[in-house]
């Protein structure tokens, strides 16, 4: 599953920043409160042609403290994603489609979101 590959890659590249495929339940035994910074990966589209998968992923950089922290984490994510095709064998290409402030006004959680199109073979 490519989502797990991306998650594992970002966990290694982001030096201890938690990376999730879904929001954790908070409070819980693992997370009594939200981490100050974390990354959430969400598949937002995809297709397959000639045994090549092309998937789109929204990668959200969250901060509970400041917008600047979310922006800085987003920059780290983009730096890692920009070289992922060089570092992960099954990834053929990884291209950023968009990047923007995606703060959730309702929950007052700061976040940036970048969307990447990733081509890979299964």
Per the prediction, the chain carries an average pLDDT of 94
Q: Place 35 in a pLDDT band, splitting at 50, 70 and 90.
A: very high
Q: Which residues does residue 60 pair with via DSSP β-bridges, in sequence order?
A: 40, 113
Supply 15's token pair: 């030096």
* Span 68-94, average pLDDT: 96
Q: What confidence score (pLDDT) does residue 105 get?
A: 86
Domain range annotation of the chain: 2-24+35-121
- pLDDT score at 13: 97
What is 2-24+35-121's CATH topology? STM4215-like (3.30.2000)
3-state secondary structure of 71: helix
pTM reported for the whole predicted model: 0.92
CA 61 to CA 81: how far, in whole Å? 13
What is the pLDDT at residue 121? 81
Query: What is the Rg, in whole angstroms, of the alpha carbon atoms belonging to the chain?
Result: 14
For the chain, give percent helix, strand, coil, nearest 5.
25, 45, 30
């Amino acid at each position: 599953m490519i989502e797990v590959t991306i998650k594992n890659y970002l966990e290694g590249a982001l030096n201890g920043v938690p990376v999730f495929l879904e929001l954790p339940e908070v409070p819980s035994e693992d997370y009594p409160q939200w981490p100050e910074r974390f990354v959430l990966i969400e598949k937002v589209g995809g297709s397959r042609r000639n045994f090549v998968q092309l998937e789109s992923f929204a990668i959200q950089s969250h901060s509970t403290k400041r917008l600047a922290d979310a922006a800085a984490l987003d920059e780290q994510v983009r730096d890692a994603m920009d070289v992922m095709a060089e570092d992960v064998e099954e990834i053929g290409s990884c291209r950023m489609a968009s990047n923007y402030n995606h703060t959730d006004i309702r929950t007052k959680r700061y976040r940036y979101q970048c969307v990447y199109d990733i081509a890979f073979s299964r």
